[in-house]
Chain A
Amino acid sequence: MGNVLVWLVWFVAAAACLGTGMAVVTMTNPFFSALALIGNLASLAVLFLLLSAEFLAAAQVLVYAGAVMVMFLFVVAYLGGRADAPWAGGHRLVRGAAVVAAAALLTEIVVVLGLAWGDNLTDPAEISDSFGDPAQIGQAFLTDHLLAFEITSIVLLVAAVGGVVLGTTPEKEEETA
């Protein structure tokens, strides 16, 4: 019975994930696109929970759906009406080529998955209950992956400084703007 429930939760989360993903791409108003992306990130967090990645699901909701999307909505609000860029056409051939390229990419991934499905993807490893909880993630981060952890902090620092540099306008350019 628990099995059916897990399937049900998976199906709802996956459908919400794909639906909101399509909404992000098709909406003309970036505000609604950003809201749809928040729904997308939340349903992905549910999928992460089903894959027993508890810490990652929490980080997804807090960092992504919280902090990053708030920043996004601030920029949409700052730009106001100018952010409303509709589809704005483009050449019909270019649009057709984009659809074909995306479809080709999707087919490629699905074919590779189908080839690997056999025995590689049907028998998952046995895991303990503590798999993916904050203690284990912290343990892995501060022992095996310490270098990656430190490099990540440097990347974030560089991005923060870069954001400030991009955000400040020298006085000379202020006049011409």
Chain B
Amino acid sequence: MDGPDVGWYLIVAAILFGIGALGVMLRRSPLIVLLSLEIMLNAANLTLVAFARQQGNLDGQIFALAVMAVAAAEVAIGLGLIVAMARRRVPLDVDQASALRG
């Protein structure tokens, strides 16, 4: 394989996952939490694709495509929730939206 070993891709994915986890735990704006979740999902995708290349097996790429579909669904629902929160004048702060009541 020309260029870096698969392990280097896994290192990048690990750091990216850490950054995403930091964003989810640290930030309080639901929009940014959602974006950080996307980073975590994409880090997992990079790992899946890297292992698919390592093993020469296409199943990892299929799994990554399924993850992308689920991520798209998650964004649609998450953004719907944020818009619903904004409509009801709930502050856009995940710490204050602690009770799941209408």
Residues of A whose CB lies within 8 Å of any CB of B are 2-3, 6-7, 9-10, 14, 17-18, 21-22, 24-25, 27, 30, 33-34, 37, 40-41, 44, 47-48, 50-53, 55-56, 59-60, 63-64, 67-68, 71-72, 75-76, 78-79, 82-83, 85, 87-88, 90, 95, 98-99, 101-103, 105-106, 109-110, 113, 117, 120-122, 124-127, 131-132, 136-137, 140-141, 144-145, 148, 152, 155-156, 158-160, 162-163, 165-167, 169, 173, 177
Q: Are A177 and B83 in contact (CB under 8 A)?
A: no
Q: Are B49 and A48 in contact (CB under 8 A)?
A: yes
Task: Please judge, given known A-B contacts A67-B72, A163-B76, A177-B89, whether A124 and B1 are in contact too, CB under 8 Å.
Answer: yes
Residues of B whose CB lies within 8 Å of any CB of A are 1-12, 14-23, 25-29, 31-32, 34-36, 38-39, 42, 45-46, 49-50, 52-59, 61-62, 64-66, 68-77, 79-84, 86-89, 92-93, 95, 102
Q: Give CA–CA (A76, B38) in the complex, Å.
A: 16
**B3 contact set on A, CB distance < 8 A:** 3, 6-7, 9-10, 50
**B15 contact set on A, CB distance < 8 A:** 18, 106
The smallest C-beta distance from B9 to any residue of chain A, in angstroms, reads 6
**A82 contact set on B, CB distance < 8 A:** 86, 92
Q: Which of B17, B23, B32, B52 contacts A53 (CB 8 A)?
A: B52
Q: Are B6 and A102 in contact (CB under 8 A)?
A: no
